[in-house]
Amino acid sequence: MSRFLELDSGVRLHYIDEGPKENGVPTILCVHGNPTWSFYYRKIVSQFRHTQRVVALDHVGCGLSDKPQSYQYTLRQHTANLVHLIDTLDLKQVTLVVHDWGGAIGLGAAIERIERFRNLLVLNTAAFPPPYIPRRIAACRFPLLGSWAIRYCNAFAQAAIYMAIDRLPRLDRNARDGLLAPYDSPRNRVAIDSFVRDIPMSPQHPTYEVLIELERNLPKLSKLPIRFVWGMQDWCFRPECMERMNLSWPNAMRRELADVGHYVMEEAPTEVIEELQKMASENVDRR
């Protein structure tokens, strides 16, 4: 079911909220990255909505959320919005699923509300200042030209449909259309461009220190059961990103998908769902 949360700024944040909501029912919280939206997690929602509460939000500027043209589209603000959603919905016993920018956003929120979380499932992402900038991303940062290409040519979201997969020769039309649907005009691509601008390419960028602090705090989550499901053919969040986070979580379990690219939920939903089912089973055993 689609719902909206009005933030302090008067901006509406959209989220999907499916499944039972009685006390004691665990929650799966799905946090997307750029340039996707809650649609990316549709197979998790479909699989688990009969037995667990499943919440998948759209960051401000993404999906069905409002897309203000003037807004603090920063990691710090997106994290604060997610914390507000968690508190407002009083989410507990949460299994967090994160991908891409959703990693930094979701893990930052989990650190702030660690008592509400039970498990972490980490898809291709990072939670530290970027040790490298892929050329395809750097090209989107060219002054004026980069923003023009992202907003007026849909260069970032359109390219991802083809560049973020490896196992599949192509995404089916329904998946392609669904991923692109909210981003059908230059105005509606404001957050896609802003996420790219928020990648800190130097220590002088304000988000650089936010990511430094995030990585410093990652060990606080190490007592939670953590699983990686990683597309090993991802040219953006390469396997060394998983290795670096694994240093903070030495007991994390890893499922490495040799032929999968960046869009793990599009190419390997079965494997991700299997890992979530294992976590659910382990949660029952720990009661």
Nearest to 16 by CA among 32, 4, 34: 4
Specify whether the CB–CB gap between 180 and 157 falls below 8 A: yes
Cis ω for the linkage preceding 129 (within 30 of 0): no
For 151-202, the pLDDT digits (tens) are 999 999 999 999 999 999 999 999 999 999 999 999 999 999 999 999 999 9
Residue 284 pLDDT: 67
Residue 135 pLDDT: 85
pLDDT above 90 as % of the chain: 90
If you average pLDDT over residues 93-114, what whole number do you get?
Answer: 98
Give CA–CA dist 177/157, Å, rounded: 11
Residue 141 pLDDT: 83
Give CA–CA dist 253/46, Å, rounded: 25
pLDDT-based confidence at 9, cuts 50/70/90? confident
pLDDT-based confidence at 140, cuts 50/70/90? confident
Name the DSSP class of 118: E
Residue 243 pLDDT: 98
For 69-98, the pLDDT digits (tens) are 999 999 999 999 999 999 999 999 999 999
What the chain holds in terms of domains, given with CATH numbers, is 2-286 (3.40.50.1820)
> What are the helix (H) ranges across the chain?
42-48, 75-89, 101-112, 135-138, 145-152, 155-163, 173-180, 190-197, 206-217, 239-248, 264-267, 269-286
For 240-276, the pLDDT digits (tens) are 999 999 999 999 999 999 999 999 999 999 999 999 9
Residue 218 pLDDT: 98
pLDDT-based confidence at 285, cuts 50/70/90? low
Residue 19 pLDDT: 96
pLDDT-based confidence at 286, cuts 50/70/90? low
Output the average pLDDT for the chain: 96
- Supply the pTM of this predicted model: 0.97
For 40-54, the pLDDT digits (tens) are 999 999 999 999 999
Would you say residue 287 has pLDDT above 80? no
pLDDT-based confidence at 139, cuts 50/70/90? confident
Number of residues written out for the chain: 287
